[in-house]
Amino acid sequence: HSTDICVYALKKIVRYYLSKSTPVFACFMDASKAFDKLNYFTLFEKLLKHKMPVLIIRLLFYGYCTQQIRVKWGSAMSNYFNVSNDVRQG
């Protein structure tokens, strides 16, 4: 689904610049390995397996599962959306 939107946008951009007889250059980068990623439920299963107190796991679960973020691009701001994978840093 997410790649469909990107491919559609790329095609529209390329067609636009080609219709103006302008050269088109593109560079693609897969940055998925550049960011830490962890499924929360896997984390909580491992904590339970290693006998971490349930109260602590519930606190962590609440903190992770209720977080929302939004993206700022220039002066535009997206709507809030839920986060399902990440590792908090710091």
CA–CA distance, 83 with 81 (Å, rounded to integer): 7
pLDDT at 71 over 60: yes
pTM given for the model: 0.43
Please give the mean pLDDT across all residues of the chain.
Answer: 82
- Half-sphere exposure of residue 80: CA atoms within 13 angstroms, side-chain side: 5
pLDDT of residue 34: 61
Between CA 86 and CA 6 the distance in angstroms is 22
Return the pLDDT at 32: 66
Spans of all domains in the chain: 2-82
In SS3 terms, 29-52 reads as CCCHHHCCCCEHHHHHHHHHHCCC
